[in-house]
Amino acid sequence: MIPFSPPKIDQRIIDEVNDALRSGWITTGPKTKLFEKNLIEYTGSKQVLCVNSATAGLELMLRWFGLQPGDEVIIPAYTYCATANVVIHCGATPVMADIGDNFNVSLEAIERLITPNTKAIMPVDIGGFPCDYEALNALVNRGDIKAKFTPNNEKQEQLGRMLILSDAAHSIGATYNGQRTGSVTDLAVFSFHAVKNLTTAEGGAIALNLPEPFDNRAIYEHLCITSLHGQSKDALAKSKKGGWRYDVIEAGYKFNMTDLQAAMGLVELARYDEETLTRRKHIFDSYTEAFSAHDWAYLPIYETENKCSSYHLYLLRVKGATEQQRDQIIQEIFDQEVSVNVHYQPLPMLSYYKNLGYKMEDYPQALATYQNEISLPVFYNLSDAEIQTVINAVVTAVDKVMG
């Protein structure tokens, strides 16, 4: 069976994790701090804080911005549930926007949904393809949109407009106008979950690029405390001679990354461009070349003049397939020993959100996209022969089901 996206666990990873284990320091410490420094360099961000998941990172930043009941956060309907759940955790309301024709959230839909309660917008770089950040940044800075913004704390007053908190769970390494995601919005959060491009088993990182007069370094330092129970010192500082006494300055969270996770991340990041992205691009290009010969294939866009994907998910669509036919095609592909997936079931289709009152008919493009979408295997160790096996399995399955 060809799996969907197993991690690359090789001797380099094992050696680096071993090194952390043997050092005796396994929680947040020198490897996490080094990983943060390397992520700043790699993404071109002002500051980076590592956390134990992207979900934790997103929630931390919504809470940092002081979200509360009555506040609204605009998110795409077409995303993973984490994007919505973190808003709900804060007591605020996720307002779901439909997507455009390339999987990412529609700017027109966002603009229509803005109200005086809108505090933040959370775009998602689906599959690793960056959203239209220039347009999005321009939108929140536009006079009439700014005039709708109603700050209710000091940070919101300082920003003076809606916050852009990008869910960049898929898009580390992707570029927008030559700049890496993470550096093009106020805040962006990457995921290092096991199935993501760059993994630390579980983990995430917050890239901070808040505009003047925010002091990103000071915010980073405070977030270190907020993500560790509000303790004025972390375990490493406390372990130093005479450093035992600490204070608690707030009821913080337990969101810190461990050095075992960071050990994996250090190796993954060091080889990310040259090995990971190069191989993933090759797989994307191979799929696109093969499927472009077929009329039924609606190919994902992953490189344009000003954007380049991180090649996270290859989102193939089968033109004209109904949801039922798509499901049948998936069954046929599995019968040929190839694992595929669907990204995503739009949130309004899922029980929890449906019960909250979100209606699938309000998101026609998300529904149309979901119905005929199939995500294909993409991972470092997928060989050229296996790429061919995947292509053959898809073509055979589509021919059989669609005639």
Ligand X SMILES: *Cc1c(COP(=O)(O)O)cnc(C)c1O
Contact residues toward ligand X (CB under 6 A) are 53-55, 79-80, 82-83, 124, 167, 169-170, 191, 193, 204
- 300 has which bridge partners? none
Decide if 139 contacts 111 (C-beta within 8 A).
Answer: yes
Q: How far is the CB of 240 from ligand X (least distance, A)?
A: 31
Closer CB to ligand X, 189 or 210, in the complex: 189
**139/143 Cα distance (integer angstroms):** 9
Closer CB to ligand X, 59 or 186, in the complex: 59
Q: How far is the CB of 5 from ligand X (least distance, A)?
A: 11
Q: How far is the CB of 204 from ligand X (least distance, A)?
A: 5
**26/15 Cα distance (integer angstroms):** 14
**Residue environment code for 332-363, b if the CB has 16+ CB neighbours within 10 A, otherwise e:** bbeeeebbbbbbbebbbbeeebeeeebebeeb
Closer CB to ligand X, 6 or 151, in the complex: 6
Closer CB to ligand X, 168 or 329, in the complex: 168
**39/122 Cα distance (integer angstroms):** 21
Closer CB to ligand X, 186 or 332, in the complex: 186
Q: How far is the CB of 190 from ligand X (least distance, A)?
A: 8
Closer CB to ligand X, 170 or 180, in the complex: 170
Closer CB to ligand X, 102 or 156, in the complex: 102
Decide if 358 contacts 352 (C-beta within 8 A).
Answer: no
Cβ atoms within 10 Å of 101's Cβ, excluding its own:
11
Q: How far is the CB of 246 from ligand X (least distance, A)?
A: 28
Q: How far is the CB of 203 from ligand X (least distance, A)?
A: 7
Q: How far is the CB of 1 from ligand X (least distance, A)?
A: 23
